[in-house]
């Protein structure tokens, strides 16, 4: 009997291994598990935790003890003039940065897609800002746009234009941020657009030419409709990333929100509540509001996208 028990035990292990080997799903799961664990711990758990935290009205941060829950945090955020200022700044930024960056990147992608010389050189040059750290870029920009010593004003002076206080004039803040983000995100968007453009078969352009379509008509009737999937991808991702604007402000305005809070964005508001005032649950509530805003915008765009690209 003892011998037989031993025998069964011995074969049981390889059988399980064999089963796992055969079952593709379990196999796949084993490969995915390490990444899944890390993502769950550092991304998914915090998301739900911060959502839960946004309802804490009285709690001990260190022990994690919660004494009272409620909607007070949301009430605070939604009545805070600073939050509305942040909301307004962010919306203006999104409205400026997203369309402008799409138009500019698409323009450059079209140029690069036509047969120009040094194509690869230009493509690399445009890609450099994207892979350079935002902090480094912002510091250089701060220096370039310095009112007294910056190169931009120096050039303007040579042209006989008065110095402009780029970084201290509240009216210049959002345009500066738009400029920085368009310039920085251009390389990435150009690559995506180029891929999309190269997916459009040459034969459609030839056919359109024969059909009497001018270059502009070919662009509006062929390029744009056939590029819609790419356009929607780029617009959705850039709306999301524009809503999350933070680093550029943080570095460009030396850890401040710009002159007269003109650079106060939603993420900056969240950051301030969390790091500066230690109002963790209010920060969480604001983050959740931002999440809902982004969700709504993304859903709208997805819906439009589905309607526009049915071929």
Footprint of another protein (CB under 8 A): 201, 203-204, 206-214, 217, 221-222, 225-226, 309-311
Closer CB to another protein, 29 or 206, in the complex: 206
Q: Which pair of structure tokens corresponds to residue 1?
A: 């009997």
Q: Which of 193, 201, 212 is nearest to 102 (CA)?
A: 193
Closer CB to another protein, 169 or 309, in the complex: 309
Closer CB to another protein, 105 or 223, in the complex: 223
CB-based burial, 251-281: b 16+ in 10 Å, e otherwise:
bbbeeebbbebbbbbbbbbbbbbbeeeebbb
Please, what is the angle between helix 224-243 and helix 280-308, to 10°? 180
Say which DSSP state 220 is in: I
Q: Please check whether residue 239 is in contact with residue 293, taking contact to mean a CB–CB distance below 8 angstroms.
A: no
Closer CB to another protein, 35 or 210, in the complex: 210
Q: Residue 215 CB, nearest distance to another protein (Å)? A: 9
Q: Residue 48 CB, nearest distance to another protein (Å)? A: 41
Concatenated DSSP letters of 221-237: IIIHHHHHHHHHHHHHH
Indicate the burial class of 210 (C-beta count within 10 angstroms; 0-12, 13-18, 19 or more): exposed
Q: Residue 232 CB, nearest distance to another protein (Å)? A: 14
Q: Which pair of structure tokens corresponds to residue 234?
A: 């780029």
Q: Which pair of structure tokens corresponds to residue 67?
A: 């004494």
Closer CB to another protein, 4 or 203, in the complex: 203
- β-bridge partners, 69: 56
Q: Residue 236 CB, nearest distance to another protein (Å)? A: 20
Q: Please check whether residue 68 is in contact with residue 57, taking contact to mean a CB–CB distance below 8 angstroms.
A: yes
Closer CB to another protein, 154 or 224, in the complex: 224
Concatenated DSSP letters of 226-272: HHHHHHHHHHHHHHHHHHT--HHHHHHTTTS--GGGTT--HHHHHHI
Q: Residue 39 CB, nearest distance to another protein (Å)? A: 37
Closer CB to another protein, 204 or 291, in the complex: 204
Q: Residue 212 CB, nearest distance to another protein (Å)? A: 4
Q: How far apart are CA 72 and CA 294, in angstroms?
A: 22
Closer CB to another protein, 114 or 162, in the complex: 114
Q: Residue 306 CB, nearest distance to another protein (Å)? A: 14
Q: Residue 22 CB, nearest distance to another protein (Å)? A: 39
């Amino acid at each position: 009997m003892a011998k037989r028990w031993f025998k069964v035990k011995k074969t049981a292990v390889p059988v399980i291994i064999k089963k796992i080997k055969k079952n593709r799903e379990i196999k796949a799961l084993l490969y995915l598990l390490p990444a899944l664990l890390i993502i769950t711990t550092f991304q998914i758990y915090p998301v739900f935790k911060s959502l839960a935290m946004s309802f804490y009205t009285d709690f001990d941060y260190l022990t994690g003890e919660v004494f009272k829950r409620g909607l007070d945090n949301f009430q605070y955020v939604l009545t805070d003039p600073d939050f509305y200022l942040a909301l307004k700044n962010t919306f203006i930024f999104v409205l400026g940065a997203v369309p402008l960056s799409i138009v500019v990147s698409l323009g450059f992608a079209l140029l690069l897609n036509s047969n120009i010389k040094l194509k690869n050189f230009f493509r690399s040059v445009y890609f450099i800002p994207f892979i350079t750290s935002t902090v480094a870029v912002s510091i250089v920009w701060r220096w370039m746009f310095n009112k007294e010593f910056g190169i931009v004003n120096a050039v303007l002076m040579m042209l006989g234009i008065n110095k402009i206080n780029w970084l201290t004039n509240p009216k210049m803040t959002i345009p500066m941020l738009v400029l920085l983000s368009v310039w920085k995100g251009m390389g990435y968007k150009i690559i995506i657009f180029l891929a999309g453009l190269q997916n459009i078969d040459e034969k459609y352009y030839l056919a359109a030419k024969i059909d009497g379509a001018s270059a502009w008509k070919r662009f509006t009737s062929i390029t744009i409709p056939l590029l819609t999937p790419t356009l929607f991808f780029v617009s959705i991702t850039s709306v999301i990333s524009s809503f999350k604007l933070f680093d550029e402000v943080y570095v460009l305005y030396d850890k401040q929100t710009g002159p007269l809070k003109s650079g106060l964005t939603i993420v900056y508001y969240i950051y301030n509540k969390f790091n500066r005032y230690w109002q963790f649950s209010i920060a969480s509530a604001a983050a959740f509001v931002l999440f809902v805003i982004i969700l709504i915008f993304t859903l709208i765009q997805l819906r439009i996208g589905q309607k526009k690209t049915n071929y």
